[in-house]
Amino acid sequence: MKNKNTLAKSAAMISIMTLISKFLGFLREIKIADRFGSGMETDTYFVAMTATVIIVGTLGSAVNTTLIPIFAEIEEKHGKKGKLIYLNNIVNLVLIITSILMIAGFFFSPLIIKILAKGFKGEQFDLAVKLNRIGLPIVMLLGLTNVLGGLLNSSQIFGPPAVAGIPYNIVFLIYLIFFARNARIETLMIVTVIGTSLQLLTHVPAVKHMGYKFKMKVNLKDPYLKKAMILVMPVLLGSAVQQINVVIDKTLASELVEGSVSALNYASKVNDMVIAVFIMAITTVVFPMLADAFAKNDNKQVKDILSQGMNIIILITVPATVGLILLAKPLIYLFFENNAFDAKATLMTSNALIFYSIGLVGSSLRLMLNRVYYSFQDTTTPMVNGMLSVVVNVVLNLILVRYMAHSGLALATSISATVTTMLLYRNLNKKISKLNTKGLMRCIFKSVISALVMGVVVYLVYYKFGNILPNKKIVQMLNIVLSVVLGALTYFVMCVLLRVEELGLIIKKVFK
Instruction: Provide the residue ranges of all domains of the chain, joining segments of one domain with +.
Output: 2-435, 436-512
Residues in the chain: 512
Q: Which residue has the higher pLDDT, 11 or 229?
A: 229
Distance separating alpha carbons of residues 432 and 435, to the nearest angstrom: 7
Q: Which residues make Cβ contacts (< 8 Å) with residue 456, sequence separation at least 6?
A: none
What is the pTM assigned to this prediction? 0.71
| pLDDT for 262 | 85
Q: How confident is the model at residue 324 (pLDDT cuts 50, 70, 90)?
A: very high
| pLDDT for 240 | 65
Contact predicate 93/227, CB 8 Å: no
Distance separating alpha carbons of residues 486 and 453, to the nearest angstrom: 11
| pLDDT for 265 | 82
Q: Taking Cα atoms as reference points, which of 270, 263, 262 lies closest to residue 124?
A: 262
Residue 493 has pLDDT above 80, yes or no: yes
Q: Which helix (H) or strand (E) holds 158?
A: none
Residue 219 has pLDDT above 60, yes or no: yes
The fraction of the chain above a pLDDT of 70, given in percent, is 84
Q: Taking Cα atoms as reference points, which of 90, 111, 118, 103 lies closest to residue 215?
A: 90
Q: Which residue has the higher pLDDT, 44 or 430?
A: 44
Written as one letter, the residue type at 250 is K
- C-alpha 305 chain-centroid distance: 21
End-to-end Cα spacing for the chain: 14
Contact predicate 322/102, CB 8 Å: no
Residue 239 has pLDDT above 90, yes or no: no
pLDDT tens readout for residues 357-368: 999 999 888 888
pLDDT tens readout for residues 395-419: 999 999 989 999 999 999 999 989 9
Distances (CA, A) of 394 to 238, 245, 246, 413, 451: 16, 7, 10, 9, 31
pLDDT tens readout for residues 339-355: 778 888 889 999 999 99
Mean predicted confidence (pLDDT) in 171-178: 91
Phi, then psi, of 338 in degrees rounded to 5: -175, 145
Q: What is the mean pLDDT of the chain?
A: 82
Distances (CA, A) of 260 to 12, 30, 266, 511: 36, 17, 10, 44
